[in-house]
Chains A and B, each alone.
Chain A
Amino acid sequence: MKIALIGFGSVGRGKSGIISAGGIDMRAVLDRKKATGMCGTPGISAWDVITTADYDLLIEVTPTDATTGEPALTYIREALAAGRHVVTSNKGPIAVAFHELSRLAAEKNVQLRYEATVCGAVPIMKALEHGLAGNEIIKISGVFNGTCNYILTRMADEGLTYQQALMEARELGYAEADPTYDVQGIDAAIKLVILANTVWGLSTTLDDVDITGIDSLTLAALELADGQECTIRLIGEIIPKKNILRISPRIMPKNHPLVVSGTLNAVMVDTDMAGEVTLIGKGAGSRETASAIISDVLFIRDYHVKRS
Protein backbone atom coordinates (compact mmCIF):
# COMPACT_ATOMS: atom_id res chain seq x y z
CA MET A 1 0.00 0.00 0.00
CA LYS A 2 1.42 3.38 -0.97
CA ILE A 3 0.89 6.21 1.42
CA ALA A 4 1.15 9.95 0.92
CA LEU A 5 1.75 11.95 4.09
CA ILE A 6 0.83 15.62 4.12
CA GLY A 7 1.85 17.56 7.22
CA PHE A 8 5.11 17.05 8.99
CA GLY A 9 4.56 18.82 12.28
CA SER A 10 4.70 16.99 15.58
CA VAL A 11 1.87 14.66 14.56
CA GLY A 12 3.48 13.76 11.25
CA ARG A 13 6.87 13.19 12.81
CA GLY A 14 5.44 11.12 15.64
CA LYS A 15 3.89 8.87 13.07
CA SER A 16 6.74 8.44 10.62
CA GLY A 17 8.89 7.19 13.47
CA ILE A 18 6.36 4.50 14.25
CA ILE A 19 4.83 3.77 10.90
CA SER A 20 7.32 1.12 9.77
CA ALA A 21 6.39 -0.86 12.87
CA GLY A 22 2.99 -1.38 11.25
CA GLY A 23 4.60 -3.34 8.43
CA ILE A 24 3.46 -0.80 5.89
CA ASP A 25 5.32 -0.01 2.68
CA MET A 26 7.21 3.13 3.66
CA ARG A 27 8.46 3.87 0.19
CA ALA A 28 5.87 6.42 -0.75
CA VAL A 29 5.95 8.03 2.69
CA LEU A 30 9.65 8.55 2.58
CA ASP A 31 9.45 10.03 -0.89
CA ARG A 32 6.48 12.21 -0.30
CA LYS A 33 7.09 13.58 3.14
CA LYS A 34 9.86 15.63 1.63
CA ALA A 35 7.34 17.38 -0.53
CA THR A 36 5.55 19.02 2.37
CA GLY A 37 7.83 22.01 2.38
CA MET A 38 9.23 21.19 5.81
CA CYS A 39 11.92 18.96 4.43
CA GLY A 40 11.91 20.64 1.09
CA THR A 41 11.95 19.47 -2.44
CA PRO A 42 11.52 22.91 -3.90
CA GLY A 43 8.73 23.22 -6.37
CA ILE A 44 6.69 20.27 -5.17
CA SER A 45 3.80 21.36 -3.01
CA ALA A 46 1.35 19.36 -0.94
CA TRP A 47 -1.17 19.98 -3.68
CA ASP A 48 1.21 18.52 -6.30
CA VAL A 49 1.59 15.40 -4.21
CA ILE A 50 -2.11 14.96 -3.76
CA THR A 51 -2.99 15.49 -7.39
CA THR A 52 -0.10 13.83 -9.18
CA ALA A 53 1.58 11.28 -6.90
CA ASP A 54 0.87 7.57 -7.08
CA TYR A 55 -0.64 6.58 -3.74
CA ASP A 56 -3.48 4.53 -2.28
CA LEU A 57 -3.98 6.35 0.98
CA LEU A 58 -3.52 9.94 2.12
CA ILE A 59 -2.52 10.69 5.69
CA GLU A 60 -3.53 14.28 6.25
CA VAL A 61 -2.06 15.87 9.37
CA THR A 62 -1.75 19.56 8.54
CA PRO A 63 -2.66 22.24 11.12
CA THR A 64 -6.33 22.67 11.98
CA ASP A 65 -8.52 25.57 10.96
CA ALA A 66 -11.73 25.11 12.87
CA THR A 67 -13.88 27.52 10.85
CA THR A 68 -13.00 26.72 7.24
CA GLY A 69 -11.25 23.36 7.62
CA GLU A 70 -8.74 24.58 5.03
CA PRO A 71 -6.37 23.79 3.47
CA ALA A 72 -6.94 20.24 4.68
CA LEU A 73 -10.53 20.15 3.45
CA THR A 74 -9.44 20.75 -0.15
CA TYR A 75 -6.70 18.12 0.14
CA ILE A 76 -9.06 15.51 1.53
CA ARG A 77 -11.79 16.28 -0.99
CA GLU A 78 -9.33 15.95 -3.85
CA ALA A 79 -7.85 12.68 -2.59
CA LEU A 80 -11.29 11.11 -2.04
CA ALA A 81 -12.48 12.30 -5.45
CA ALA A 82 -9.46 10.59 -6.97
CA GLY A 83 -10.46 7.35 -5.25
CA ARG A 84 -7.89 7.40 -2.48
CA HIS A 85 -8.46 6.40 1.13
CA VAL A 86 -7.95 9.22 3.64
CA VAL A 87 -6.85 9.14 7.27
CA THR A 88 -6.76 12.44 9.11
CA SER A 89 -6.10 13.85 12.56
CA ASN A 90 -7.46 17.18 11.45
CA LYS A 91 -10.58 18.28 13.32
CA GLY A 92 -11.39 21.19 10.98
CA PRO A 93 -12.51 19.34 7.84
CA ILE A 94 -14.36 16.63 9.78
CA ALA A 95 -16.22 19.19 11.90
CA VAL A 96 -17.02 21.43 8.93
CA ALA A 97 -17.78 18.98 6.12
CA PHE A 98 -18.20 15.45 7.42
CA HIS A 99 -21.36 14.64 5.48
CA GLU A 100 -20.02 15.94 2.19
CA LEU A 101 -16.75 14.05 2.63
CA SER A 102 -18.34 10.80 3.73
CA ARG A 103 -20.76 10.89 0.78
CA LEU A 104 -17.83 11.42 -1.53
CA ALA A 105 -15.91 8.54 0.07
CA ALA A 106 -18.94 6.26 -0.31
CA GLU A 107 -19.36 7.26 -3.95
CA LYS A 108 -15.75 6.44 -4.70
CA ASN A 109 -15.85 3.33 -2.54
CA VAL A 110 -12.94 4.47 -0.36
CA GLN A 111 -12.54 4.97 3.36
CA LEU A 112 -12.37 8.23 5.31
CA ARG A 113 -11.16 7.65 8.86
CA TYR A 114 -10.61 10.22 11.59
CA GLU A 115 -9.97 8.37 14.87
CA ALA A 116 -7.28 10.87 15.90
CA THR A 117 -9.64 13.86 15.78
CA VAL A 118 -11.36 13.03 19.07
CA CYS A 119 -9.48 12.12 22.28
CA GLY A 120 -6.14 11.33 20.65
CA ALA A 121 -5.05 7.80 21.44
CA VAL A 122 -8.41 6.75 22.90
CA PRO A 123 -10.09 4.54 20.26
CA ILE A 124 -13.48 6.13 20.79
CA MET A 125 -14.53 6.15 17.14
CA LYS A 126 -13.84 2.45 16.70
CA ALA A 127 -15.51 1.71 20.02
CA LEU A 128 -18.64 3.54 18.89
CA GLU A 129 -18.68 2.24 15.33
CA HIS A 130 -17.61 -1.36 15.85
CA GLY A 131 -17.24 -2.23 19.54
CA LEU A 132 -20.70 -0.97 20.41
CA ALA A 133 -22.28 -1.77 17.04
CA GLY A 134 -26.01 -2.44 17.37
CA ASN A 135 -26.37 -0.33 20.47
CA GLU A 136 -28.40 2.81 20.50
CA ILE A 137 -26.08 5.58 21.67
CA ILE A 138 -28.18 7.63 24.08
CA LYS A 139 -25.60 10.02 25.38
CA ILE A 140 -21.91 10.80 25.20
CA SER A 141 -20.21 12.83 27.91
CA GLY A 142 -16.58 13.35 28.63
CA VAL A 143 -13.42 15.28 29.23
CA PHE A 144 -12.31 16.28 25.76
CA ASN A 145 -9.55 18.77 26.47
CA GLY A 146 -6.39 17.77 28.32
CA THR A 147 -5.19 21.35 28.84
CA CYS A 148 -8.34 22.30 30.76
CA ASN A 149 -8.27 19.07 32.69
CA TYR A 150 -4.67 19.70 33.69
CA ILE A 151 -5.47 23.23 34.89
CA LEU A 152 -8.50 22.07 36.88
CA THR A 153 -6.57 19.16 38.41
CA ARG A 154 -3.78 21.48 39.56
CA MET A 155 -6.23 24.03 40.97
CA ALA A 156 -8.09 21.34 42.90
CA ASP A 157 -5.07 19.36 44.09
CA GLU A 158 -2.55 22.12 44.80
CA GLY A 159 -4.73 25.14 45.42
CA LEU A 160 -3.21 27.02 42.47
CA THR A 161 -5.15 29.94 41.03
CA TYR A 162 -6.36 29.67 37.46
CA GLN A 163 -3.54 31.95 36.26
CA GLN A 164 -0.87 29.95 38.11
CA ALA A 165 -2.15 26.64 36.79
CA LEU A 166 -2.31 28.05 33.26
CA MET A 167 1.28 29.32 33.47
CA GLU A 168 2.43 25.95 34.71
CA ALA A 169 0.60 24.23 31.85
CA ARG A 170 2.36 26.53 29.40
CA GLU A 171 5.78 25.83 30.88
CA LEU A 172 5.18 22.11 30.57
CA GLY A 173 4.04 22.51 26.98
CA TYR A 174 0.44 21.46 27.73
CA ALA A 175 -0.95 24.84 26.73
CA GLU A 176 -0.30 27.00 23.69
CA ALA A 177 1.06 30.53 24.00
CA ASP A 178 -2.47 31.57 23.10
CA PRO A 179 -4.58 29.21 25.20
CA THR A 180 -7.94 30.71 24.15
CA TYR A 181 -8.89 27.81 21.93
CA ASP A 182 -8.47 25.36 24.81
CA VAL A 183 -9.58 27.26 27.92
CA GLN A 184 -12.68 28.79 26.36
CA GLY A 185 -13.91 25.32 25.49
CA ILE A 186 -13.69 25.72 21.69
CA ASP A 187 -11.40 22.75 21.11
CA ALA A 188 -13.68 20.52 23.18
CA ALA A 189 -16.74 21.90 21.36
CA ILE A 190 -15.28 20.97 17.96
CA LYS A 191 -14.91 17.40 19.18
CA LEU A 192 -18.56 17.42 20.25
CA VAL A 193 -19.55 18.61 16.78
CA ILE A 194 -17.54 15.76 15.24
CA LEU A 195 -19.20 13.21 17.53
CA ALA A 196 -22.70 14.63 17.00
CA ASN A 197 -22.31 14.58 13.23
CA THR A 198 -20.55 11.24 12.88
CA VAL A 199 -22.33 9.20 15.55
CA TRP A 200 -25.89 10.52 15.12
CA GLY A 201 -25.63 11.90 11.61
CA LEU A 202 -26.62 15.37 12.81
CA SER A 203 -25.64 18.51 10.96
CA THR A 204 -24.36 20.60 13.82
CA THR A 205 -21.76 23.33 13.68
CA LEU A 206 -19.68 25.03 16.33
CA ASP A 207 -22.43 27.66 16.69
CA ASP A 208 -24.85 24.99 17.90
CA VAL A 209 -22.72 24.15 20.94
CA ASP A 210 -23.56 25.89 24.19
CA ILE A 211 -20.01 26.69 25.35
CA THR A 212 -18.73 27.84 28.74
CA GLY A 213 -14.99 27.66 29.24
CA ILE A 214 -12.90 27.55 32.39
CA ASP A 215 -11.20 30.94 32.05
CA SER A 216 -13.34 32.64 34.68
CA LEU A 217 -13.28 29.77 37.14
CA THR A 218 -12.14 30.72 40.64
CA LEU A 219 -10.14 28.70 43.12
CA ALA A 220 -12.93 29.41 45.62
CA ALA A 221 -15.37 27.55 43.38
CA LEU A 222 -13.16 24.47 43.45
CA GLU A 223 -12.87 24.77 47.22
CA LEU A 224 -16.65 25.01 47.55
CA ALA A 225 -17.02 21.86 45.47
CA ASP A 226 -14.34 20.16 47.54
CA GLY A 227 -16.44 20.83 50.64
CA GLN A 228 -19.00 18.31 49.42
CA GLU A 229 -16.46 15.71 48.22
CA CYS A 230 -16.77 16.98 44.69
CA THR A 231 -14.55 18.70 42.16
CA ILE A 232 -15.03 20.63 38.92
CA ARG A 233 -14.25 19.36 35.44
CA LEU A 234 -14.90 20.76 31.96
CA ILE A 235 -17.44 18.33 30.57
CA GLY A 236 -18.77 17.96 27.07
CA GLU A 237 -22.22 16.43 26.70
CA ILE A 238 -24.32 15.32 23.77
CA ILE A 239 -27.85 14.12 24.42
CA PRO A 240 -29.60 14.39 21.03
CA LYS A 241 -33.04 13.46 22.39
CA LYS A 242 -32.91 16.38 24.80
CA ASN A 243 -31.31 18.63 22.25
CA ILE A 244 -28.28 19.08 24.49
CA LEU A 245 -24.91 19.87 22.99
CA ARG A 246 -22.78 21.68 25.49
CA ILE A 247 -19.39 22.25 27.02
CA SER A 248 -19.46 23.53 30.59
CA PRO A 249 -17.61 23.24 33.87
CA ARG A 250 -19.56 20.84 36.08
CA ILE A 251 -19.59 19.81 39.71
CA MET A 252 -18.61 16.13 39.81
CA PRO A 253 -18.33 13.64 42.67
CA LYS A 254 -14.61 12.90 43.07
CA ASN A 255 -15.19 9.21 42.41
CA HIS A 256 -17.04 9.77 39.13
CA PRO A 257 -15.43 7.82 36.26
CA LEU A 258 -15.00 11.02 34.25
CA VAL A 259 -12.93 12.67 36.97
CA VAL A 260 -9.49 11.91 35.54
CA SER A 261 -6.22 13.58 36.45
CA GLY A 262 -3.77 15.74 34.57
CA THR A 263 -3.93 15.85 30.79
CA LEU A 264 -6.00 12.68 30.45
CA ASN A 265 -9.18 12.53 28.41
CA ALA A 266 -12.21 10.41 29.30
CA VAL A 267 -15.38 9.56 27.41
CA MET A 268 -18.49 7.92 28.79
CA VAL A 269 -20.92 6.42 26.33
CA ASP A 270 -24.42 5.64 27.49
CA THR A 271 -26.10 2.92 25.45
CA ASP A 272 -29.29 0.88 25.52
CA MET A 273 -27.71 -2.58 25.69
CA ALA A 274 -24.18 -2.16 26.99
CA GLY A 275 -25.15 0.45 29.56
CA GLU A 276 -22.36 2.86 30.39
CA VAL A 277 -18.93 2.34 28.86
CA THR A 278 -16.05 4.62 29.81
CA LEU A 279 -12.76 5.01 27.99
CA ILE A 280 -9.82 6.89 29.50
CA GLY A 281 -6.51 7.75 27.89
CA LYS A 282 -4.13 10.29 26.48
CA GLY A 283 -5.85 12.87 24.35
CA ALA A 284 -2.84 14.59 22.85
CA GLY A 285 0.82 14.14 22.03
CA SER A 286 2.56 13.11 18.84
CA ARG A 287 3.02 9.40 19.60
CA GLU A 288 -0.52 9.15 20.95
CA THR A 289 -2.00 10.78 17.86
CA ALA A 290 0.22 8.58 15.71
CA SER A 291 -1.29 5.56 17.46
CA ALA A 292 -4.76 6.60 16.35
CA ILE A 293 -3.62 7.28 12.80
CA ILE A 294 -1.72 4.00 12.48
CA SER A 295 -4.76 2.10 13.71
CA ASP A 296 -6.88 3.79 11.02
CA VAL A 297 -4.30 3.00 8.35
CA LEU A 298 -4.09 -0.64 9.40
CA PHE A 299 -7.87 -0.85 9.59
CA ILE A 300 -8.08 0.27 5.98
CA ARG A 301 -5.27 -2.06 4.92
CA ASP A 302 -6.85 -5.06 6.64
CA TYR A 303 -10.49 -4.50 5.78
CA HIS A 304 -10.50 -2.56 2.56
CA VAL A 305 -7.25 -2.90 0.67
CA LYS A 306 -6.60 -6.63 1.12
CA ARG A 307 -10.09 -7.56 0.06
CA SER A 308 -10.08 -5.56 -3.10
Chain B
Amino acid sequence: MKLEMKDAPGQLVAALKPVSLVGGNIVAVIHQHDPQHLSDTIDVQIVLELPEGKLETLVNLIRNEGVNILRIGEERLLVRHSVILIGHLMHTDLSDTVDRIDTTGFAEVAELHLVMPAIDQPSSAKITIKSTSDEAMGEALAILREVARQKKLMIIEPLEDHQ
Protein backbone atom coordinates (compact mmCIF):
# COMPACT_ATOMS: atom_id res chain seq x y z
CA MET B 1 0.00 0.00 0.00
CA LYS B 2 1.16 3.52 -0.70
CA LEU B 3 0.99 6.00 2.14
CA GLU B 4 1.34 9.75 2.30
CA MET B 5 2.59 11.16 5.58
CA LYS B 6 4.09 14.30 7.08
CA ASP B 7 7.82 14.48 6.59
CA ALA B 8 8.46 14.62 10.33
CA PRO B 9 10.27 12.41 12.87
CA GLY B 10 8.16 9.59 14.31
CA GLN B 11 5.63 9.59 11.48
CA LEU B 12 6.84 6.40 9.83
CA VAL B 13 6.86 4.49 13.12
CA ALA B 14 3.35 5.75 13.87
CA ALA B 15 2.17 4.53 10.48
CA LEU B 16 3.74 1.09 10.85
CA LYS B 17 2.75 0.34 14.44
CA PRO B 18 -0.85 -0.64 13.58
CA VAL B 19 0.45 -3.41 11.29
CA SER B 20 1.69 -5.44 14.23
CA LEU B 21 -1.42 -4.54 16.22
CA VAL B 22 -3.59 -6.40 13.72
CA GLY B 23 -1.18 -9.33 13.57
CA GLY B 24 0.36 -8.39 10.23
CA ASN B 25 3.90 -8.80 9.02
CA ILE B 26 5.87 -6.05 7.25
CA VAL B 27 7.70 -7.45 4.25
CA ALA B 28 9.26 -4.24 2.89
CA VAL B 29 9.22 -0.49 3.39
CA ILE B 30 10.16 1.69 0.43
CA HIS B 31 10.84 5.18 1.61
CA GLN B 32 12.15 7.63 -0.94
CA HIS B 33 12.64 11.34 -0.76
CA ASP B 34 11.73 12.82 -4.07
CA PRO B 35 13.83 15.99 -4.69
CA GLN B 36 11.11 17.24 -7.07
CA HIS B 37 8.54 16.89 -4.36
CA LEU B 38 7.95 20.29 -2.87
CA SER B 39 5.24 19.65 -0.33
CA ASP B 40 5.88 18.87 3.33
CA THR B 41 4.64 15.32 2.95
CA ILE B 42 6.45 12.18 1.77
CA ASP B 43 5.20 9.02 0.07
CA VAL B 44 6.04 5.64 1.55
CA GLN B 45 5.22 2.25 0.09
CA ILE B 46 4.84 -0.69 2.41
CA VAL B 47 4.42 -4.34 1.49
CA LEU B 48 2.80 -6.45 4.14
CA GLU B 49 1.05 -9.70 4.89
CA LEU B 50 -2.19 -9.51 6.81
CA PRO B 51 -4.43 -12.08 8.43
CA GLU B 52 -7.69 -12.64 6.58
CA GLY B 53 -10.22 -9.85 7.12
CA LYS B 54 -7.88 -7.42 8.90
CA LEU B 55 -7.35 -4.92 6.11
CA GLU B 56 -10.23 -2.66 7.04
CA THR B 57 -9.16 -2.47 10.69
CA LEU B 58 -5.63 -1.62 9.60
CA VAL B 59 -6.79 1.10 7.25
CA ASN B 60 -8.76 2.75 10.06
CA LEU B 61 -5.88 2.51 12.52
CA ILE B 62 -3.43 4.04 10.05
CA ARG B 63 -5.84 6.89 9.24
CA ASN B 64 -6.24 7.54 12.96
CA GLU B 65 -2.50 8.20 13.05
CA GLY B 66 -3.09 11.04 10.61
CA VAL B 67 -1.55 9.19 7.71
CA ASN B 68 -3.20 9.38 4.33
CA ILE B 69 -3.51 6.17 2.34
CA LEU B 70 -3.04 6.91 -1.33
CA ARG B 71 -3.41 3.45 -2.80
CA ILE B 72 -4.02 -0.09 -1.68
CA GLY B 73 -2.85 -2.76 -4.08
CA GLU B 74 -4.25 -5.92 -2.69
CA GLU B 75 -2.82 -9.31 -3.62
CA ARG B 76 -6.07 -10.97 -4.40
CA LEU B 77 -5.48 -14.62 -3.71
CA LEU B 78 -4.44 -14.91 -0.13
CA VAL B 79 -6.01 -18.09 1.18
CA ARG B 80 -4.05 -21.24 0.34
CA HIS B 81 -5.26 -24.72 0.82
CA SER B 82 -3.86 -28.10 -0.23
CA VAL B 83 -5.87 -31.23 -0.87
CA ILE B 84 -4.80 -34.65 -2.09
CA LEU B 85 -6.63 -36.46 -4.88
CA ILE B 86 -6.26 -40.18 -5.51
CA GLY B 87 -7.54 -42.07 -8.53
CA HIS B 88 -7.17 -42.21 -12.28
CA LEU B 89 -6.33 -38.54 -12.53
CA MET B 90 -4.96 -38.45 -16.08
CA HIS B 91 -7.67 -40.68 -17.53
CA THR B 92 -10.31 -38.46 -16.01
CA ASP B 93 -8.85 -35.34 -17.64
CA LEU B 94 -6.67 -33.62 -15.10
CA SER B 95 -6.64 -30.34 -17.00
CA ASP B 96 -10.43 -30.25 -16.88
CA THR B 97 -10.26 -30.84 -13.11
CA VAL B 98 -7.91 -27.86 -12.80
CA ASP B 99 -10.03 -25.74 -15.16
CA ARG B 100 -13.12 -26.19 -13.05
CA ILE B 101 -11.34 -24.31 -10.26
CA ASP B 102 -9.49 -21.83 -12.48
CA THR B 103 -12.65 -20.70 -14.27
CA THR B 104 -14.39 -19.66 -11.06
CA GLY B 105 -12.72 -16.25 -10.99
CA PHE B 106 -12.27 -16.45 -7.21
CA ALA B 107 -9.90 -19.38 -6.94
CA GLU B 108 -7.16 -21.04 -8.91
CA VAL B 109 -4.88 -24.02 -8.79
CA ALA B 110 -1.48 -22.65 -7.82
CA GLU B 111 0.49 -25.85 -7.52
CA LEU B 112 0.14 -29.44 -8.59
CA HIS B 113 2.31 -32.32 -7.49
CA LEU B 114 1.50 -35.55 -9.27
CA VAL B 115 2.80 -39.05 -8.48
CA MET B 116 2.08 -41.82 -10.98
CA PRO B 117 3.50 -45.13 -9.76
CA ALA B 118 2.45 -47.32 -12.72
CA ILE B 119 0.14 -47.11 -15.71
CA ASP B 120 -2.73 -49.14 -14.29
CA GLN B 121 -2.26 -47.90 -10.73
CA PRO B 122 -4.18 -44.99 -9.28
CA SER B 123 -2.12 -41.82 -9.15
CA SER B 124 -1.98 -39.32 -6.31
CA ALA B 125 -1.79 -35.55 -6.58
CA LYS B 126 -1.44 -32.72 -4.14
CA ILE B 127 -3.30 -29.69 -5.41
CA THR B 128 -2.79 -26.29 -3.83
CA ILE B 129 -5.62 -23.88 -4.38
CA LYS B 130 -5.40 -20.14 -3.81
CA SER B 131 -8.52 -18.11 -3.29
CA THR B 132 -9.69 -14.63 -2.45
CA SER B 133 -11.28 -15.49 0.91
CA ASP B 134 -12.28 -18.31 3.21
CA GLU B 135 -15.77 -18.32 1.72
CA ALA B 136 -14.37 -18.54 -1.78
CA MET B 137 -12.14 -21.41 -0.66
CA GLY B 138 -15.19 -23.17 0.70
CA GLU B 139 -16.89 -22.80 -2.68
CA ALA B 140 -13.81 -23.93 -4.59
CA LEU B 141 -13.53 -27.01 -2.43
CA ALA B 142 -17.21 -27.76 -2.91
CA ILE B 143 -16.62 -27.68 -6.67
CA LEU B 144 -13.61 -29.96 -6.31
CA ARG B 145 -15.60 -32.39 -4.16
CA GLU B 146 -18.27 -32.53 -6.84
CA VAL B 147 -15.66 -33.11 -9.55
CA ALA B 148 -14.09 -35.85 -7.43
CA ARG B 149 -17.49 -37.47 -7.02
CA GLN B 150 -18.18 -37.37 -10.76
CA LYS B 151 -14.74 -38.70 -11.67
CA LYS B 152 -14.67 -41.24 -8.84
CA LEU B 153 -11.58 -39.72 -7.28
CA MET B 154 -10.86 -39.84 -3.59
CA ILE B 155 -10.36 -36.42 -2.07
CA ILE B 156 -8.43 -35.91 1.15
CA GLU B 157 -8.92 -32.54 2.73
CA PRO B 158 -7.15 -30.89 5.63
CA LEU B 159 -8.86 -30.96 8.99
CA GLU B 160 -9.88 -27.32 9.00
CA ASP B 161 -13.13 -25.54 8.57
CA HIS B 162 -13.81 -25.08 4.90
CA GLN B 163 -17.12 -26.81 4.90
Contacts and interface: CB of A to CB of B under 8 A. Distances in A.
* Same complex: yes
Interface string A217-258: 110110111011010100101010010100011111000101
A216 B154 contact: yes
Contact of A221 (B84, B157, B159, B163): B84
B159 A235 contact: yes
Interface in B76-97: 82-84, 86-87
Contacts of A258: 159
A251 B141 CA distance: 14
In this complex, the member of B83, B126, B159 whose beta carbon has the largest number of chain A beta carbons within 10 angstroms is B159
B124 A250 contact: no
Interface in B38-73: none
Contacts of B82: 228, 251
Nearest to A215: B154
A147 interface: no
Contacts, number: 65
B60 to A, nearest CB: 30
Contact of A251 (B87, B124, B154, B158): B158
A36 interface: no
A223 B125 CA distance: 10
Contact of B124 (A220, A237, A252): A220
Contacts of A256: 159
A65 B37 CA distance: 83
Nearest to A259: B159
A216 B156 contact: no
B124 A218 contact: yes
A212 interface: yes
A265 interface: no
A141 interface: yes
Given A216-B86, A227-B126, A249 B158 contact: no
Contacts of B125: 224
Given A232-B156, A251-B84, 4 more contacts: A221-B86, A221-B156, A251-B158, A252-B158
20 contacts: A216-B86, A216-B154, A218-B117, A218-B124, A220-B86, A220-B123, A221-B124, A221-B156, A224-B113, A224-B126, A225-B84, A225-B156, A232-B156, A237-B159, A249-B156, A250-B156, A250-B157, A251-B158, A251-B159, A258-B159
